[in-house]
């Protein structure tokens, strides 16, 4: 893809992306990318003849085209959710291996649970929190068993602005968006969406369809503010 991956934009100074001339992503760009990824997952989960679980949502698997639209790539771990009574003895939803990347794997997969729509939602929630805090779920700052979900949850809602990625504001400095109460409200809504998606219990997570609706409302609010 012409604009590499989301990882290159979130972490431009890591060795893997040193040769890429990357600037900081603005809040509107990040919300658009988040919506693109959620929409792709919505399609995989609900709009085919058989639901597909991606199993490896993370920044390096989110590819950006020349217009900065996001595309979900790398389906090497993807699974069809075929009803168990239709599967042969060697099930596609076998629980013999962990599906995903460290930091993005839902807790239930680590305990032998099968791939699920809720598992993708969890990974997406972690991605969303990472996009707006600038903190990777494997960051050294997260110690003593504190996950990125817990790290963000402890700041929510009153200290949310203290954990937001500072680069986000430098990208929007020309419009002075960082001083806007409206933008702060939007960031709180985005973080809340990420927390809802990455709940420890699969039953407590919202669906990816809910995430699409919430983030589209945030985007509409941001664009209305910028007119």
Q: Tokens 């060697």 appear where?
A: 90
Q: Give the per-residue pLDDT at 95.
A: 41
Kindly tell me if the per-residue pLDDT of 17 is higher than 80.
no
Domain containing 203 equals 6-83+99-226
Determine whether 120 is an active site residue. no
Instruction: Using pLDDT thresholds of 50, 70 and 90, give the confidence band for residue 60.
Output: very high
Q: Please report whether residue 117 resides in a domain.
A: yes
CATH number at residue 22: 1.10.510.10
Half-sphere exposure at residue 92, Cβ-oriented, CA atoms within 13 angstroms: 18
Give tens-digit pLDDT for 88-146.
544 444 444 667 899 999 999 989 899 999 999 999 999 999 999 999 998 887 777 78
Expressed in angstroms, the distance from the first to the final Cα of the chain is 31
Cα–Cα distances in angstroms (integers) from residue 107 to residues 12, 27, 135, 150, in the given order: 29, 29, 19, 13
Residue tagged active-site, from 56, 120, 165, 172: 56
Q: Is the pLDDT of residue 187 over 90?
A: yes
User: What mean pLDDT is reported for the chain?
Assistant: 87
**Of the candidate ranges 1-5, 75-79, 191-195, the one whose mean pLDDT is the lowest:** 1-5
**Residue 74 belongs to some domain of the structure:** yes
Q: Is the pTM of this model over 0.75?
A: yes
Number of domains in the chain: 1
Rounded to whole angstroms, how far apart are CA atoms 27 and 199? 24
Residue 46 lies in a domain: yes
Within a domain: residue 32? Answer: yes
Residue 80: phi and psi, rounded to 5, are -80, 135
Residue 192 lies in a domain: yes
| Residue 216 forms part of a structural domain | yes
What's the whole-number mean pLDDT along residues 78-97?
62
User: Please, which pLDDT band fits residue 18 given cuts at 50, 70 and 90?
Assistant: low
Could you report the per-residue pLDDT of 164-184, keeping only the tens digit for each?
998 887 666 544 554 488 889
CA angle 155-206-157, nearest 5°?
Answer: 15
Q: Which of 9-23, 68-82, 113-127, 196-210 has the weakest average pLDDT?
A: 9-23
| pLDDT band at residue 216 under the 50/70/90 scheme | very high
Domain membership of residue 220 (yes or no) is yes
Residue 1 lies in a domain: no
């Amino acid at each position: 893809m012409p604009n590499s991956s989301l990882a290159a934009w979130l972490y431009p100074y890591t060795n893997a992306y040193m040769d890429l001339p990357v600037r900081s992503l603005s809040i509107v760009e990040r919300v658009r990318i988040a919506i693109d990824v959620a929409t792709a997952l919505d399609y995989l989960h609900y709009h085919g003849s058989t639901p597909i679980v991606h199993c490896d949502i993370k920044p390096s698997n989110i590819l950006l085209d020349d217009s900065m639209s996001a595309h979900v790539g790398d389906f090497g771990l993807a699974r069809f959710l075929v009803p168990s009574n239709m599967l042969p003895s060697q099930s596609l939803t076998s629980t013999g291996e962990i599906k995903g990347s460290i930091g993005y794997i839902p807790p239930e997969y680590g305990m032998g649970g099968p791939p699920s729509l809720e598992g993708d939602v969890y990974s997406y929630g972690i991605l969303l929190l990472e996009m707006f805090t600038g903190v990777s779920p494997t960051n050294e700052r997260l110690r003593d068993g504190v996950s990125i979900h817990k790290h963000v949850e402890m700041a929510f809602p009153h200290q949310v602005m203290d954990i937001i990625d500072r680069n986000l504001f430098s990208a929007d400095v020309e419009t002075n968006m960082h001083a806007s109460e409206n933008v702060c409200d939007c960031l709180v809504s985005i973080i809340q969406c990420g927390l809802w998606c990455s709940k420890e219990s699969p039953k407590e997570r919202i669906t990816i369809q809910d995430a699409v609706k919430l983030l589209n409302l945030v985007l509409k609010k941001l664009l209305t503010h910028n007119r």
